[in-house]
Amino acid sequence: MDGKLTPQDAAAPKISAVICTIGTRGVITRAVEALLRQTLTPEDYEILLVINAPEVPEHAEFKSGLRSMAGARRDVLRFVHEPRQGLSLARNTGIREARGRYVAFIDDDALADPDWLEQIAARFERDERIASVGGNIVPEFAARPPAWVTPVLHPYFSCMVFSRDEEFLAPGRYFFGTNMAFRKDLLEACGGFHSDLGRKGGSLLSNEEWTVFRFIDARGLLKLASPRVRVRHVVPASRLRRGFFIRRLWWQGVSDTVFHLRLDGRDKGWVLRKAWKDFRTYYGNLRQKLKAGVSTPHMAFFNLFRWVGILYAVCTTEKGGPCAAEIGRCSS
């Protein structure tokens, strides 16, 4: 990364905002509208909407409506279809199609602050060692949350305060996919996101970002968190129920196990030993955690399902896989 634009890059936008979606739900309109109102000039950015579904006639009206809403900025809006199901595949299509030097990812139910892209680009341009930029994700509840939905549970909505002051994340700390940006050349060097993980159909598989961030950490590059790089994440009423958290924590256990077995080269014995150690540590210190406010009785209950998910995945997941060797280069 030499920090210089080549002549052929000069006419390209500075940054690409990528939204991956499986459908045309109404909240996408709000997400796109927020990106159309960015403080960057239209020449400096593009919005790339990756529709993770085969093209059907209904999409024509959807695209036309968004272009009409874009008005004078309609040229910044582009569409591409990725018919193969999976968030990681859709993101990788976004990387391939993006024309910007930087690629910023945001969910289709998240609303960027007006200067989101400007703040991201400015931080990348400070130092060529900065490989990733991200920031805080605050919830916007579609319904009033029950009293037991405290900030301890917000990360399971993909909401997190990463920093109150600007700081570099230590190795092993990663941004959430709802608000993260990378240098495009780094994403290409790593091979993008691994398709064994990431949302796919009705599953809540996650951790697909881990290999990219490990690639960054292994090379001593920087991950800059800034409170000025902020988005709001719309939380529907359906996620304010106990059943959602039970399912979400179960899938987190599955995701962690799949990552360790298929991408991290661990065996099932290692996974089980780690799970037992973590279980004893968490519940052995639960009284102190409750007193310190870093856990709640609800969180302690929901967390049980993480270990159920781990046991399930240990029994059903084969070690390795056709893509494990390829991703090894991103983790080393």
Q: Rounded distance, CA 223 to CA 169, Å?
A: 6
Query: What is the gyration radius of the CA atoms in the chain, in angstroms?
Result: 20
Nearest CA to 166 out of 206, 127, 199, 133 is that of: 133
Q: Rounded distance, CA 252 to CA 309, Å?
A: 7
- The beta-carbon contacts of 58-66 under 8 Å, at least 24 apart in sequence, are 58/24, 59/24, 62/24, 65/29, 66/29, 66/32
Q: Can you give the pLDDT at residue 279?
A: 96
Segments of the chain assigned E as strands: 15-21, 45-51, 77-81, 102-106, 110-112, 130-141, 167-168, 179-183, 222-235
Q: Quick: pLDDT tens for 54-103.
A: 888 888 888 888 898 888 888 999 999 999 988 999 999 999 999 999 99
Q: Can you give the pLDDT at residue 319?
A: 58
Q: Rounded distance, CA 302 to CA 160, Å?
A: 18
Q: Can you give the pLDDT at residue 219?
A: 95
Q: Rounded distance, CA 242 to CA 153, Å?
A: 11
Residues of the chain with pLDDT under 50: 1-8, 10, 321-332
Q: Can you give the pLDDT at residue 125?
A: 95
Contact 206, 103 (CB under 8 A): no
Q: Rounded distance, CA 206 to CA 263, Å?
A: 13
Q: Can you give the pLDDT at residue 260?
A: 92
> What is the pairing mode between strands 130-141 and 222-235?
parallel
For residue 62, give both structure tokens: 């959807």
User: CA 86, 91, 92 angle in degrees (round to 5)?
Assistant: 100
